[in-house]
Chain A
């Protein structure tokens, strides 16, 4: 019944969107100033091909990031300068991981996997805003899926063909 309802409502006036399954974050909201575990869900490969490389570009404001290693994948951390320093338990951090690459793996199109990292959300980030994590899936023969579109002002992620996964920032909660 529900499925039918969804089908029917979806069939009603819908703007054209090409056929692509989205890479998403498992939990897509978090308070500013908190520790956030980002779980990227990879639903499929590139038009039937397996995924060999997953690259995630980290947004400014997500610092002190540690990616989780994955058996069968080579983990690479690209270190870069932060736009502004962060206070990490009394230590000032001016640089850290800005891009994470899992490579050399093989995730077939008809299987599912998750890629994980953990880090801190800057306390001075604006609550109500969204952080975007552009993700690129690379497959054999130069094929790639690029989840890198960030909505422009007045645009919704639903208008985009290949939206980057977004994290909605909530008000700072009490305590740590």
Chain B
């Protein structure tokens, strides 16, 4: 300092400079700022009951500028009832705090005039974990058509191709129900084409008015469902040929059509996509072909019995001998599919997928009761030529057919309900962030990438992707738009070389500011700042 000016003048000049500096330049670095030494509740704490008061203890006396409480639902309210005592601030707490994670966000100014801020994250009872929300707008026209075409496709598979299989292989010699089978084939073929367009619309999120757009169709064909449609069309064509053929050629063609229908079903859909693939795809295939073999026989059999056609009784005899085996395959494959997809029994009730499965099971229970009555009470008298029993059997077969239609309708709803397995996987998916600076880079992973308790891990490397043996890594989180000041969590080095912080709670969804502080050597630190999107 020059000593040319008289002391009082220097002092006044300094004071003026001080104020100007404070206003324009933020506070000067030459002053000491308050630092938070302790808090009650502690940062990161999980407390059993709502605290009656909060306290913040600083390294020196402070004046609070803004104190806010952010609740688990993201709403925030100022805490304006507080008292300053020595180095501490005692804050009165709102009375109605619920369970979940809260953030006490503070900003104070110390004697040097430098405001500083921070946040204390604490949970009452347990950390908030919001339920996964699928916030997607639903186009009911596209959905309706997609559902209807799916049901029609099932009718084509089960009544059409299954019917051809029944006529040619299961019960050769029956020619009843040809017209129904042929119509079902035509319906299935038409539905498979139409469904492709709506699959494309659904994949693009486009409205039904864009159905004529070629990109919609190419998109539909490009999804895994495209393979299903191609296989289905070939299967329907083969089945149509088999109807026109006789003898061994018809049998071979009908068999090929049924196998192809099973393959078509196994090529796409939630169940086929699940792991283990070696189990799930064959299970879908067996489930589908068994349904077709069973259901396809119903209409030809019922019509043959009603018309007292020649060979009807022999057909009934073969049906009742073969079908129990087919149904056993169907049930076993179905159980495998359900167990993998539902994962946990509670999901039967609390997910849409599980609820559809319950409806389907209820319908199936009715179907199996009817089938059992037919098998054990009506088949023998009908085979013996009892006309009353035959009439009741025909009626029962008609009702079974109706129930099968309802089951198909229920199964087609699954197109829109991700199974619990997939929901769980989606909820657990991490959020990631990559920050790259000259001195270091970090790949940050927040698992799960949802609001609530998370594990944060980061792989640290030099700016040129080389190995970096950091001394310390700290994660600093803040959410300015929700009024949450920065809070820091120290990372531990884990066995695989990544830096991890367990038990971090990110109380709100949305965009978070994250900074990774990497201590490269005693005197060198890299601060890598970025943003990460946290799902609800």
Q: Could you say which residues of chain A place their CB within 8 Å of the CB of B31? A: 22
A10 x B38 contact (CB < 8 A):
no
| Closest-CB distance, B226 to chain A (whole angstroms) | 52
B118 x A109 contact (CB < 8 A):
no
B22 x A16 contact (CB < 8 A):
no
- Binary B-proximity of A1-27 (CB < 8 A = 1, otherwise 0): 011011101111011111111101001
Q: Could you say which residues of chain A place their CB within 8 Å of the CB of B114? A: 10, 17
A48 x B38 contact (CB < 8 A):
yes
Q: Could you say which residues of chain B place their CB within 8 Å of the CB of A22? A: 29-33
A contact set with B: CB distance below 8 Å: 2-3, 5-7, 9-12, 14-22, 24, 27-28, 43-44, 47-48, 55, 57, 109-110, 134, 136, 146, 148-149, 156-158, 161-163
- A20 vs B15: C-alpha distance when bound (angstroms): 23
Question: What's the dominant secondary structure at chain A's contact region?
Answer: loop
Which of A44, A109, A110, A156 is packed against the most chain B CB atoms within 10 Å? A44
B117 x A16 contact (CB < 8 A):
yes
Neighbour of A11 across the interface among B33, B65, B522, CB < 8 A? B65
- A141 vs B89: C-alpha distance when bound (angstroms): 27
In this assembly, does B480 line the interface, its C-beta being within 8 Å of a C-beta of chain A?
A: yes
A149 x B33 contact (CB < 8 A):
no
| Closest-CB distance, B318 to chain A (whole angstroms) | 81
B36 x A47 contact (CB < 8 A):
yes
Which of A21, A110, A134, A156 is packed against the most chain B CB atoms within 10 Å? A21
Q: Could you say which residues of chain B place their CB within 8 Å of the CB of A20? A: 33, 35, 116
- A42 vs B17: C-alpha distance when bound (angstroms): 24
B29 x A18 contact (CB < 8 A):
no
B476 to chain A: closest residue by CB: A18
Neighbour of B33 across the interface among A3, A7, A15, A21, CB < 8 A? A21
Neighbour of B525 across the interface among A14, A44, A149, A157, CB < 8 A? A149
B19 x A6 contact (CB < 8 A):
yes
B30 x A21 contact (CB < 8 A):
no
Q: Could you say which residues of chain A place their CB within 8 Å of the CB of B26? A: 14-15, 17, 158
B523 x A18 contact (CB < 8 A):
no
In this assembly, does B222 line the interface, its C-beta being within 8 Å of a C-beta of chain A?
A: no
* Chain B interface extent, by class: 35 or more
In this assembly, does B115 line the interface, its C-beta being within 8 Å of a C-beta of chain A?
A: yes
Neighbour of B29 across the interface among A11, A109, A158, CB < 8 A? A158
| Closest-CB distance, B478 to chain A (whole angstroms) | 7
B contact set with A: CB distance below 8 Å: 1, 15, 18-19, 22-23, 25-38, 58-60, 63, 65, 107-109, 111, 113-118, 478, 480, 485-486, 488, 519, 522-525, 527
Neighbour of B115 across the interface among A11, A109, A156, CB < 8 A? A11
The 5 closest A-B pairs by CB, nearest first: A6-B113, A21-B32, A19-B116, A43-B32, A48-B37
Neighbour of A10 across the interface among B34, B37, B109, CB < 8 A? B109
A5 to chain B: closest residue by CB: B19
Question: What's the dominant secondary structure at chain B's contact region?
Answer: mixed
| Closest-CB distance, B46 to chain A (whole angstroms) | 21
Given contacts A16-B480, A57-B523, A163-B29, contact A21 B59 (CB under 8 A): yes
B18 x A6 contact (CB < 8 A):
yes
B523 x A19 contact (CB < 8 A):
no
A48 to chain B: closest residue by CB: B37
A17 to chain B: closest residue by CB: B116
- A44 vs B59: C-alpha distance when bound (angstroms): 8
| Closest-CB distance, B400 to chain A (whole angstroms) | 70
- A5 vs B109: C-alpha distance when bound (angstroms): 12
Q: Could you say which residues of chain B place their CB within 8 Å of the CB of A12? A: 23
Neighbour of A19 across the interface among B29, B58, B111, CB < 8 A? B58
- A57 vs B207: C-alpha distance when bound (angstroms): 66
Which of A14, A15, A109 is packed against the most chain B CB atoms within 10 Å? A14
Q: Could you say which residues of chain B place their CB within 8 Å of the CB of A136? A: 522-523
- A68 vs B230: C-alpha distance when bound (angstroms): 87
| Closest-CB distance, B115 to chain A (whole angstroms) | 5
Q: Could you say which residues of chain A place their CB within 8 Å of the CB of B522? A: 55, 57, 136, 146, 148
Given contacts A28-B30, A47-B35, 15 further A-B contacts (CB under 8 A): A2-B19, A7-B109, A9-B22, A10-B109, A12-B23, A16-B480, A17-B117, A19-B34, A19-B118, A20-B116, A47-B37, A109-B37, A134-B523, A148-B525, A163-B29
The contact sample of 5 A-B pairs, CB cut-off 8 A, is: A9-B22, A9-B113, A11-B115, A14-B26, A48-B37
- A10 vs B486: C-alpha distance when bound (angstroms): 19
Q: Could you say which residues of chain B place their CB within 8 Å of the CB of A156? A: 25
Given contacts A16-B480, A157-B29, contact A9 B38 (CB under 8 A): no
Q: Could you say which residues of chain A place their CB within 8 Å of the CB of B523? A: 57, 134, 136, 146, 148
Which of B34, B111, B523 is packed against the most chain A CB atoms within 10 Å? B523
Given contacts A5-B19, A19-B118, contact A11 B35 (CB under 8 A): no
| Closest-CB distance, A140 to chain B (whole angstroms) | 14
B27 x A158 contact (CB < 8 A):
yes
- A28 vs B22: C-alpha distance when bound (angstroms): 18
A135 to chain B: closest residue by CB: B523
A16 x B486 contact (CB < 8 A):
yes
- A161 vs B519: C-alpha distance when bound (angstroms): 14
